[in-house]
Amino acid sequence: MASTAGRKHTSSGKDNGKNVESPSESEWDLSEPDCELETDEEDDDDEEENVEKRWCTGLACQLGYGGTILVLFETPTGFALFMYDGVKLLRPDALEVAFLKCVKTFEDKVGAINPVTGLSKELALMIKDHIKTDQTLAVGNEDYKEIIQKSLGISCLCGPAVDELMWGLRFQMQSLLPKENSERPEDLFPLCEGMKILLNRHSFKVKPDMMVTKRIIDVTSVVYECDYCVNKHRDSLRMAGEYLKDISGIDTQDWDLMKLAVALKMICCPEEKIAATRWLFSRQQLKRLKDDAPKYKNKIFKMPCLVVYNAIYSAREIRTDAARILVRLFKKARKESEAEQECEATEYGTMLSAQRKEKQVPSTLAPIGTLQGYTQISRHPLHRTENPGILSIDIHPLKDIVATGGMDTNVVLFDLPSGQVLCTLTGHSKKITTLKFVNRNELFVTGSADMTVRVWQGSEDGNYRCIHILKDHTAEVEAVTVHATQKFFVTASKDNSWCFYDISTGSCLTKVGEASVQEGYTSASFHPDGCILGTGNTDAIVKLWDVKTQSDFAQIEGHDGPVTAMSFSENGYFLATASVDCVKLWDLRKLRSFRTYSPDDSGTPISAVEFDYSGSYLAIGGSDVRVYQVADVKVEWNLIKELMVPSGTGNVTSVKFGADAKYIAAGSMDRSLRIFGP
């Protein structure tokens, strides 16, 4: 295509251009995608020399046996051995790229290989009968690698690239091993890493744990083949692009390969009209390419240029069609996934509702007499002194670890038994307004006035790392509440919206906005069943939402200011809401208020309200912390204990019960975490 005499090739690696022409909406046969329109042929001598080099040097030498490896593949009933080109697994692009040797059914597949019993004689013999001297064996996990290397002394390969290979074998198992039953007869497969990389490169937003159909995999394969068809011409096109700079003074470093191919065709066929040239080039560039065409004689060759142009044009056209199909397929898959998740949440709520009717107060719950003797047993100044104040706290569901969110933009995790700070989480740029532990996979969620939500995950050493940063809100995030399944959570913001998230992926499944709200939401909480969401806003209105339909079915009014906190009782009958003026108790069966508690100090607003997990006690935080015994609508809720906080230290902003109400934690504006107990 281009003469290479005396020329060094440099590549920018940038391919950010436009498609030449909008292709049609028609689909094509996806069973045998073929975008490779040009092949390179070598003579026999060169091929023999390349084979010899491959066998003796580089990655092939590293793997042994010319780079050809055996793959130990686990089937539903036993194991199979495949021959594979192992060099592909060691290349940088391994995640984006078999020959059956043996398959055997095992009556005791679990006993064939495991850390306790090691490697069975039957599986060991199967491997030794087929592996060659110095040949590497690819295995599906680290345990298998360690066991086989120890038992047989065979070098084993394991890691992300091998996982990708195993994924491909599982996907093709029906054709490779027809006698084996498919592990997923419903035609659903998890996304492999290579697909994630490819789809993200093409700006498809896919969930990491999303299940995809064979149809999606087939169409994604077409996109990959088209990318390969285009990219295999990269070096020759970039080399030719240097002539454009030397002869016509046109810098092509930022051009994509299609644009380069079009420019070369214009040079080779200056009289031919080529589609979309006005979209791709400026008038000055078009004039230079046409006027300078004769100067490229003996430097740019016509036939290779036309072959490359046709190959790239066809591949780009097919890829555009494939992308359109993928958009439709993923949209359908997302809807089905969201419907399935909503159904799961609803079914789980129904189950919880049935269980709650039979639920008894735990015998380990601290009795009233014990709570009456509670006093402050410790005080822990946390967060920075220059910007004091704790705005939110929560307690780990399984450990005595308290998380505090501060005005100083930090989150502190405090270990109560040792009295030590475990770690400080940084990353938010403004005050932490809300935070919640999740009773699953050591997950933790924080919301901030910086309009973002962060999902953190804990490790064995006690530290937490941020795994998701969510930016779906356009104003302060005021509340986070976790669904009963521990798989979803909701955030509420002053931008008049609340978002429903998948906690493992950080995907926003639903965003509900209200144009009628003046200043947005200030609190939110899930009903214990997870089927109802309660929200409070700056207009002093409490709304109850059907989570499945995202529609509000009740609106409760009665406060004189923003609803700053809310909590549902465990039995699902009561809702407590707090505002600057008072705390109100609502009977959800009749949607009416049956009791009001005014602040003891009119100058200090009530900022916190919380039922304990059993639904037996209610704590209210303002100038102090007051604990009430939960009763019924017609029975007085007795004040059990008033826990005093020294005056002048700032109001209590958040209060939580420890496990079985064995202690009470409170955060206040003097940056103190106070623990009350016997």
How many percent of the chain have pLDDT more than 90? 38
pLDDT, one tens digit per residue, over 585-603 is 999 988 999 999 987 766 6
Look at residue 473 in the predicted model and tell me its pLDDT. 94
Q: Strand 156-157 relative to strand 137-138: parallel, antiparallel, unpaired?
A: parallel
Residue with tokens 């069973």: 31
The β-bridge relationship of strands 375-381 and 211-213 is: unpaired
Pick from 527, 435, 537: nearest CA to 479: 435
Summarised one tens digit per residue, pLDDT across range 421-451 is 999 999 999 999 999 999 988 999 999 999 9
d(CA 200, CA 206): 8
Other C-beta atoms lying within 10 Å of the C-beta of residue 377:
11
What was the pLDDT predicted at 60?
Answer: 56
**Cα separation of 337 and 448, whole Å?**
29
Among 225-239, 256-270, 370-384, 513-527, which is the least confidently predicted range? Answer: 513-527
Closest C-alpha among 364, 233, 365 to residue 307 = 233
Judge if 177 and 257 occupy the same domain: no
163 plus 247 within the same structural domain:
no
> Tokens representing 386?
């220059």
Q: Identify whether residues 412 and 486 lie together within a single domain.
A: yes
Cα dihedral value 657, 660, 661, 662, nearest 10: -120
For residue 191, tell me if it sits in a domain: no
The reported pLDDT for the residue numbered 93 is 56
Q: What is the pLDDT of residues 526-560, one digit of tens each?
A: 999 888 999 999 989 999 999 888 889 999 998 98
**pLDDT tier for residue 182 given thresholds of 50, 70 and 90:** very low
26 located within any domain: no
Tell me what the mean pLDDT of segment 74-96 comes to: 68
Residues 423 and 517 in one domain: yes
Q: Which domain-ending residue is among 245, 267, 300?
A: 300
**Average pLDDT of span 648-666:** 90
Does some domain include residue 274?
yes
Residue 638 lies in a domain: yes
Sign of the Cα torsion 343, 349, 353, 354 reads positive
Q: How confident is the model at residue 29 (pLDDT cuts 50, 70, 90)?
A: very low
Question: Can you read off the two tokens belonging to residue 180?
Answer: 């084996």
Predicted confidence band of residue 14 (pLDDT cuts 50, 70, 90): very low
User: How many CA atoms are closer than 13 Å to the CA of 669, on its beta-carbon side?
Assistant: 16
Instruction: Work out the pLDDT band at 27, boundaries 50, 70, 90.
Output: very low
**Domain around 289:** 234-300
b/e map 547-567, b = 16+ CB within 10 Å: beeeeeeeebebbeebbbbbb
Q: How far is Cα of residue 452 from the mean position of the Cα atoms in its chain?
A: 16
pLDDT at residue 346, as a whole number: 62
pLDDT at position 602 is 65
Residue 217 lies in a domain: no
Query: pLDDT digit string (tens) for 480-530?
Result: 999 988 989 999 999 999 999 988 878 888 899 865 556 799 999 999 988
| pLDDT tens profile 455-474 | 999 887 778 889 889 999 99
Check whether 365 has a pLDDT greater than 90: yes
List the one residue out of 576, 571, 561, 475 whose CA is nearest residue 525: 576
Average pLDDT, integer, range 554-567: 92
Structurally, the chain folds into a number of domains equal to 3
Tell me, yes or no, whether 396 and 489 share the same domain. Answer: yes
Residues 171 and 242 reside in one and the same domain = no
Q: Is the pLDDT of residue 21 over 80?
A: no
Q: Which residues 6+ apart lie within 8 Å of 222 measured at CB? A: 30, 33, 35, 318, 319, 322
d(CA 448, CA 327): 33
Closest CA to 238 of 419, 12, 440, 411: 12
Q: Identify the residue with better confidence: 83 or 186.
A: 83
CA distance 14 to 241: 13
Q: Which amino acid is at 610?
A: E
Q: Which of 183, 218, 244 is the last residue of a domain?
A: 183
Amino acid at 39: T
**Strands 401-406 vs 411-415: parallel, antiparallel or unpaired:** antiparallel
User: Got the DSSP string for 146-194?
Assistant: HHHHHHH---EE-SHHHHHHHHHHHHTHHHH-TTSPPS-TTSEEEPPHH
pTM listed for this prediction = 0.57
Is residue 658 over pLDDT 90? Answer: yes
Same domain membership, residue 622 and residue 520: yes
Tell me the pLDDT tens digit for each residue of 140-155: 888 899 999 999 999 9
Let me know whether 162 and 238 are in one domain: no
How distant, in Å, are the alpha carbons of 186, 490, 578 from that of 524? Answer: 38, 8, 12
What are the start-end ranges of the E strands in 4-144?
Answer: 68-74, 78-85, 99-105, 113-114, 118-119, 137-138
CB 450 within 8 A of CB 430: yes
* Domain identity same for 402 and 517: yes
Helix (H) or strand (E) holding 557: strand 551-557
Phi-psi domain of 194 (left: phi exceeds 0; alpha: psi -120 through 50; beta: other)? alpha
| CATH number of the domain residue 110 falls in | 3.30.420
378: in domain: no
Task: Please give the angle made by the CA atoms of 315, 320 and 325, to the nearest 5 degrees.
Answer: 125
Q: What is the mean pLDDT of the chain?
A: 81
Note the pLDDT of residue 203.
Answer: 83
- The residue among 300, 320, 350 that closes a domain is 300
Closest CA to 169 of 228, 82, 70, 106: 82
The per-residue pLDDT for 42 is 44
pLDDT tens for residues 246-297? 999 999 988 989 999 999 998 988 888 876 677 888 888 888 988 999 999 8
Q: Say if residue 470 is in the same domain as residue 559.
A: yes
| Mean pLDDT to the nearest integer, 86-105 | 64
- The answer to whether residues 527 and 520 touch, using CB atoms and an 8 Å cutoff, is no
How many angstroms separate the Cα of 372 from the Cα of each of 36, 43, 366, 377?
80, 93, 10, 14
User: In terms of domains, do 529 and 666 share one?
Assistant: yes
* pLDDT, average across residues 324-343: 75
Q: Specify the higher pLDDT residue, 211 or 209.
A: 211
Distances 489 to 10, 302, 598 between C-alpha atoms, Å? 50, 61, 31
Shared domain check, 269 and 173: no
In a domain, 448, yes or no: yes
Residue 226 lies in a domain: no
For 233, the enclosing helix (H) or strand (E) is none
Residue 517, domain CATH: 2.130.10.10
